[in-house]
Homo-oligomer: A and B are copies of this chain.
């Protein structure tokens, strides 16, 4: 990450601190730590106050923190004390009174231990979603990275599609896909690859297994064939995607897709889509419980599906950039695969 980008993000956090009358924010969620500082390791805490920006880590990560998070002052933990104890000590030295913490990430145990180490005049204030809110809006550079990733995924599917044939196991296809991702320049898949053949296509989050493909099997590699069902799913996607404009709320987009499929048995029981960025699933969520108004700069998936137990499944998935001019699909054309 470029240093000026980190500086801009930390400044945005400081404005939120002022709004919330907080003296400091403690950041513990790894993806938020990475977003603000650039540090990509799994264990490091940030403390951001009006003037200061520190990153706390143990010796395994010091060199990486210095290299990746130059905008942050490194606070080193000594061998025998845990990172939470270091955080408490550091806060005692800083002396803030109102300290925000990530209540969507800190566990009940961690919260109790941290609170127990601080004096009674320090208030730990839950600030769930503060950094996640900043992450919803993507910069043009971030959109470009997501577009590149979508392009790699698409080219990988194209290559693998031509290799699919009866006798291959689901896990062979998963491996082939992952191999191709790497060859095309990705670090690797962001989650366990989903390949589910035949009636296992009814498992939306199935793991690739040993089932061999049989002639005529539909293969869910997130996209599939079977005409009428596909048409219905596509209709739900088209109509709901048209709503992905600034000002429309997330739940309204989700509702439209469910309305289109109201007559279908086994229409998707999950939300229609989700923000995507540092995490595969991040805010906003196209679901009944999220009333976030969409804004230009958000990147959100649109992935309606129908999953019939004993038959199989169809899901169509696109990644969409919300712009002032309307939805812009970042994923190249979708793919359909038939074995036989």
> A residues near B, CB below 8 A?
40-42, 58-61, 63-64, 78-80, 82, 101, 103-109, 111-112, 126, 128, 175, 179, 182, 188, 192, 202-207, 258, 268-270, 287-289, 307, 309
Contact = CB atoms under 8 A, between A and B. Distances in A.
The 6 closest A-B pairs by CB, nearest first: A59-B269, A103-B108, A60-B204, A80-B288, A103-B109, A79-B269
A131 B138 CA distance: 40
15 contacts: A59-B269, A59-B307, A61-B205, A63-B202, A63-B203, A79-B269, A80-B287, A80-B289, A103-B108, A103-B109, A104-B108, A108-B111, A108-B126, A109-B126, A188-B192
A144 to B, nearest CB: 20
Contact of A59 (B58, B128, B270, B289): B270
A6 to B, nearest CB: 19
A205 B269 contact: no
Given A60-B203, A64-B206, 14 more contacts: A40-B207, A60-B204, A60-B205, A61-B205, A64-B205, A79-B270, A79-B288, A103-B109, A103-B112, A105-B107, A108-B108, A108-B126, A109-B128, A179-B179
Contacts of A41: 205
Copies in the complex: 2
A82 B270 CA distance: 10
A108 B129 CA distance: 13
Nearest to A63: B203
B289 A58 contact: no
A34 to B, nearest CB: 12
A297 to B, nearest CB: 26
Select the residue from A109, A111, A126, A289 with max chain B CB neighbours within 10 A.
Answer: A109
A82 B207 contact: no
A206 B60 CA distance: 9
A230 B78 CA distance: 24
Nearest to A64: B203
Contacts of A188: 192
A181 to B, nearest CB: 10
Contact of A270 (B60, B203, B207): B60
A268 B59 CA distance: 8
Contact of A108 (B106, B179, B182, B204): B106
